[in-house]
Structure 1
Amino acid sequence: MSRRRRLVPGTLFGRALLTLIFTFGLYAIITFGVIAIYALVPVAQRSATDLASIMVLSARTLQQLPPHLREDYRAKLAGEYQIRLAEERPVADVHRYFFPYQSLVEEALSERLGRPAEMITSLANGDRWFWVEIDVEGQILWTGFPRGRLGTRPLQGLMVIVALAVLLILGTTIVLAGRLASPLKRLSEAAEQVAFGLSPHPLPETGPAELANLARQFNETDRQIRELLANRTLLLTGISHDLRTPLTRLRLAVAMLPADRPPSLVARMERDIEEMNALITQAIEFGKSLGAGRREEIDLNAIVEDVTAGRARVLWHRGNPCPCRVDTLALRRILGNLVENALTYSSGLVEVRLDRGPPSPRVSVLDRGPGIPLAEREAIRSSYYRLELSRSRRAGGSGLGLAVAHQLAQDNHMELRLGLRPGGGTIASIRVVDGGRADASSGATVDG
């Protein structure tokens, strides 16, 4: 049984993971938005306003200085404030450069200059510069600052924040969802094993109080089921012993009857004793021989030949080899019960077919009997239920054949199907799931 955790939206783990990712992701987005609106944007706006004021003031101050002091002033601006003043238009870069801070500076410059201000960018010695045209008393000055002046990398910072948020959210949600889903997944797998007649290992009674209590209750229920099955076998064995003792005395008493007794009466009494003994034997086998057995590699043709050998009205043709891992005893008993049931309820030939698949091998038993009435299709899987209601052994069996086949199929990961045969009769087929786990349809179903 696979232990790998699958990220499927329909599973508990998948739903819990997606819910936590959505919740934490939405919280991260809202948190980032709040910080940006109430902290980052106001700081950026204030910084852009200060920078715009320095740029306008620097340009106006330059015009008011004597010509011999202007070069020193330019050098001081470039060295201390990283702002340059030029009379000629810089060579603009034709490539668009995404820089949200530029729009904030343009808005601040527009307020200072009283007209729309549009900045251009240029490249100088590998540095990105931002320039704006400023009119000072009729003279045009280009004032610029480098990208490195700000010392910020908002896009890189945003990528780091997003990457860390994604890693933290995924890591946290996987851990939380795993701690929630793992105990329930173990419980589901253990319950599935119980449904197939297996005895799972006790679940660890750890974790949150609710899950620990659930595991404790499941372990207790599983223990009680095992005790119940053991007591059932012990009870049937005791009943067998207690009933067969008086049957032995009855058989002895019949054998000691006077010779003048009618032979027909003695034969009827012996037949009744043997019938009672056969019923007891079948009941004991039903109670203690069910369950999952050991699988082995075998050709299904060999099992079918073993079941059909010596039966006069059974039609079977051996085909190509069909190797499969299967519990041979369980499959032989299921096929034997199906063939016996078909011979009992039909007077014509009973055909057995082996289909190699895909998806998996299937053995079918086809007869030309009366078929299965619609009202009886669910009840036929019950113990001691017979379509023929008389209690005569000549007319019908004990009612355990299909019940045994159904239980064995369920315990050994096989699929038993009962349906109507075209033209009249019944098709009983058993699908062998090679190698292990059966699907959700394992067990017995009835087709229309």
Structure 2
Amino acid sequence: MKRITRSLFARTALTLALAFIVFQAAAFWVVTRTLIVPVAERSADDLAGLVVLSAQTWVELPPQTRAAFERELARRHGLRLTTIDVGATADAPHFAFRTQIEDALSRRVGDAVELRGVPGTAAAWLDIPLGGHDLRVGFFPDRYAVKLPLAAIAVIAVGAFLSLLTALFLVRRITVPLARAAAAASQVGAGELPEPLPETGPAELAELARRFNKMAAEVRELLDNRTTLLAGISHDLRTPMTRLQLNLEMLRDAPSTARIDRAVADLADMNKLITGYLELARTTQAETKVRFDLAGLLEEVAADMGLTWPSAVPCEVEAGRLAVRQIVSNLIQNAQRYGGGMPIELVLECADKQARVIVRDAGKGIPDDQLERVFRPFYRLEASRSQATGGTGLGLAIVRQLAESNGWKVRLKNRAAGGLEAVLEMPR
């Protein structure tokens, strides 16, 4: 029970229920004080005035006409006027606004009036000493008592009930997706990939579901990359380590400069692989942004990579300088490796809100159905694992993760004239 009351739906429902109860009570009080009670007091005063006026008229009438007056008074106004003791010894029946009627009669008569009743009847009686006569006046409360405005009360109650149901419906529309997102988050925390959340409903909840689905996919991809990374380390390091161990064993019996050179080459290969793994592992964190000239950075990269870079108009951007440098370097290196020895083209397009760095080669390109797959860690179009025919398969994976962690976009597309075009897009 405690767990249920701690939920957002239960707390919101209880809060709304309390608010509507308070609202209904306040509305009833306002209607009562501003409408029901004033009407009741006016009706009570009118009844008291009719009673006193009828008694005074009866006293002033000739005795032979009083009986007719009594009958007419009973027929028209439901009042009984008599000098006979009717036996009103009991308390009068309780009815709404009895107090207001007694107060009004007391003011008119000039003395405290307490309504009495005859056992077994619904009439209320009062005594009025007037003109030497003890007059007894009776009336039926159902005719003169102000009725409670049941229609108004019903409207308020139904309105509050419908408002409460509507509020609970809206709250449930909010809390159910949140509960579903919480359950899915628990699955993500356990390393599972939950079913995508429905991206429907209010704009805020749909956006929350959309971002959560993206986050869950990224987490799953990160876990897959970690598994692939460990598998790649195990696979790619095993071959040079085996060669290195073999060369070291053979050096025991026959020292050779060539074997030492091969051992050193194997160590270099392992160092290169480990460096790539560490670079991939570091790409999940965004670099601190600084303001720098992108054209100047590309000039430095082009010089380091042996490319001819024409002068370009300065293009100020705010981004991670090292991340941009590594992405462009990896794209150029990839173009040099698979560009068929043809010249590499490096282009900078600087717009008001966006900067685009384009690397073009004239190689064979990539099949359209594999343009996204090449961004996976260790994925290579070349089937062998030889360092002579290709890299480690981490270059484009590093590019994609660096771009995503910094909020940039990297895409590949085949050129109509042949070759591949890699585009890095970043806001200025």
Q: TM class, shorter-chain normalised?
A: 0.5 to 0.7
Counterpart secondary structure, 1:128: coil
- 2:155 and 2:187 map into 1 onto residues whose CA distance is 46
1:173-192 correspondence runs (5 A): 173-192=167-186
- How far does the alpha carbon of each residue in 1:187-208 deviate from its partner, in whole angstroms, 9 at most, with x for none? 2222122122222222222333
| 2:197 alignment partner, one of 195, 199, 203 | 203
- 2:187 and 2:61 map into 1 onto residues whose CA distance is 94
| 1:43 alignment partner, one of 39, 44, 57 | 39
- Residue 250 of structure 1: how far off its partner (Å): 5.0
Residues 1:49 and 1:7: Cα distance change in structure 2 (over 3 Å): farther
Structure 1: segments with no counterpart, 5+ residues: 262-448
> Could you tell me whether the CA contact under 8 Å between 2:24 and 2:160 is conserved in 1?
no
Q: Which has the higher helix share?
A: 2
- 1:160 and 1:171 map into 2 onto residues whose CA distance is 16
1:21-420 correspondence runs (5 A): 21-92=17-88, 94=90, 97-122=93-118, 128-150=122-144, 153-154=147-148, 160=154, 164=158, 167-250=161-244
> Could you tell me whether the CA contact under 8 Å between 1:77 and 1:84 is conserved in 2?
yes
- 1:45 and 1:16 map into 2 onto residues whose CA distance is 42
Residues 1:128 and 1:82: Cα distance change in structure 2 (over 3 Å): same
> Could you tell me whether the CA contact under 8 Å between 1:28 and 1:165 is conserved in 2?
no
Structure 2: segments with no counterpart, 5+ residues: 256-428
- 1:57 and 1:219 map into 2 onto residues whose CA distance is 83
- Residue 120 of structure 1: how far off its partner (Å): 1.5
- 1:87 and 1:40 map into 2 onto residues whose CA distance is 35
- 1:88 and 1:117 map into 2 onto residues whose CA distance is 19
Letter in 1 for 2:124: F
- Residue 46 of structure 1: how far off its partner (Å): 0.6
- Residue 101 of structure 1: how far off its partner (Å): 1.4
> Could you tell me whether the CA contact under 8 Å between 1:127 and 1:146 is conserved in 2?
no
- How far does the alpha carbon of each residue in 1:154-187 deviate from its partner, in whole angstroms, 9 at most, with x for none? 2966874675366335423322322332222222
Residues 1:133 and 1:11: Cα distance change in structure 2 (over 3 Å): same
Residues 1:258 and 1:188: Cα distance change in structure 2 (over 3 Å): closer
Residues 1:218 and 1:257: Cα distance change in structure 2 (over 3 Å): same
> Could you tell me whether the CA contact under 8 Å between 2:40 and 2:146 is conserved in 1?
no
- 1:97 and 1:47 map into 2 onto residues whose CA distance is 18
- Residue 213 of structure 1: how far off its partner (Å): 2.2
> Could you tell me whether the CA contact under 8 Å between 1:130 and 1:146 is conserved in 2?
yes
Residues 1:7 and 1:252: Cα distance change in structure 2 (over 3 Å): closer
- 2:151 and 2:167 map into 1 onto residues whose CA distance is 24
What TM-score do you get using the length of structure 1 for normalisation?
0.50
Residues 1:82 and 1:58: Cα distance change in structure 2 (over 3 Å): same
> Could you tell me whether the CA contact under 8 Å between 1:60 and 1:136 is conserved in 2?
yes
Q: How many residues align?
A: 259
- 1:151 and 1:100 map into 2 onto residues whose CA distance is 6
